[in-house]
Amino acid sequence: MCPAQLSANQDRGFIIPIGGGEDRIKERQIHRRFVELSGGAAADIVVIPTASELESTGQDYNRIFRDLGAAGVDYLPITKRADCDNPRYLEMLERATGIFLTGGNQLRLSTILGGTGIAQKIRKRNAAGATVAGTSAGASIMSEHMIAGGESNSIPAEGVVSLAPGLGLTNAVIIDQHFTQRNRLGRLLAASSYNPFLIGLGIDEDTAAFIGPNGMFEVVGSGTVTVVDASGLSYSSMWEASRGQALSLLGLKVDVMSEGCRYDLVGRHAYPPDPSDAFCALPNRSVEGGSKH
């Protein structure tokens, strides 16, 4: 699944995967920047708390975004696939300038939203310029290939990660969350080895990657984003490994990036937090990359 097609002279909206556990009380830096990108005082934000089974989740995020000055905030109480046919929910998404997917269980989120009009509307709104953010499970589902589950505290081995289709807002990356806190490097390396075209993003708690329409992302928050680039692999044993067998992955490139660092998903290059760096001059580019699989 490639990202939805762009209209003429239209920039795609930001996508913002968040590693979970973000600050919701003090500075709320990530939420604040999401509101700003969604239009600030004119923002119309729709929260989708489907991944969570807590009834209070939608209301909690509504309060946060209202406190940060968004003009309109509402949430969609989608708990089953039939809810995705509600024309009122589709209308709310049609006018949304910002869409926020909460944390919870990414398989709950994908099995309820996948293939529905709601999923299609999210993709189309992002292609039309709306900002889409997601935390934890809401971050994982953003990519075409979603990490559905797997083992933490593991070496890279065959079978330590399971994949499922995601929303396809980007097909350039595969995303893991709660990354350092749950020691998920092994499963991200395994996921990246399935198709070295994909760039692995391991996002820590209270940390986000603000991915712009030009294929650049900036790290925001108190943790790090670990970038795994497997495109230069000289050898991988994944194709011949038996279940549970440790993998050999030679030629990987790994960047660990804290706040202010930026990364070019097209050129596959990291930049330090210096506004005078060359990335500022990079042209606006799409990162659909459908033909690069």
Per residue in 50-94, pLDDT (tens digit) is 999 999 999 999 999 999 999 999 999 999 999 999 999 999 999
Average of per-residue pLDDT across 8-28: 91
Residue 278 has pLDDT above 90, yes or no: no
Average of per-residue pLDDT across 7-11: 70
Size of the chain, expressed as the number of residues it contains = 293
Average of per-residue pLDDT across 172-176: 97
Of 248, 223, 235, give the one whose Cα is nearest residue 17. Answer: 223
The C-alpha atoms of residue 284 and residue 119 are separated, in whole angstroms, by 26
pLDDT of residue 213: 95
pLDDT of residue 5: 64
Residue 283 has pLDDT above 90, yes or no: no
Average of per-residue pLDDT across 108-127: 97
Strands 207-211 and 15-18, sheet pairing:
antiparallel
Taking a C-beta distance cutoff of 8 angstroms, is the pair 180, 224 a contact?
yes
Model confidence at 8, in pLDDT bands (50, 70, 90)?
A: low
119-142 residue pLDDT tens? 999 999 999 999 999 999 999 999
Catalytically annotated residues? 136, 178, 205
DSSP codes of every residue in the chain: -PPPPPPTT-PPPPEEEE-S----SS--HHHHHHHHHTTGGG-EEEEE-TT---TTHHHHHHHHHHHTT-SEEEE----SGGGGG-HHHHHHHHH-SEEEE--S-HHHHHHHHTTSHHHHHHHHHHHTT-EEEEETHHHHTTBSEEEEEE-SS--SBTTSEEEEE---SBSSEEEEESTTTTT-HHHHHHHHHH-TTSEEEEE-TTEEEEE-TTSEEEEEESS-EEEEE-TT-SEE-GGGPPTTPBP-EES-EEEEE-TT-EEETTTTEEE-S-TTSGGGGPPP-----GGG-
> Percent of the chain scored above 70 by pLDDT?
90
Model confidence at 284, in pLDDT bands (50, 70, 90)?
A: very low
Residue 286 has pLDDT above 80, yes or no: no
216-241 residue pLDDT tens? 999 999 999 999 999 999 999 999 99
Q: What is the largest CA-CA distance in the chain?
A: 55
Torsion sign over Cα 158, 51, 178, 38:
positive
Of 273, 228, 233, give the one whose Cα is nearest residue 251. Answer: 233
pLDDT of residue 276: 65
Q: What is the model's pTM? A: 0.91
> Percent of the chain scored above 90 by pLDDT?
88
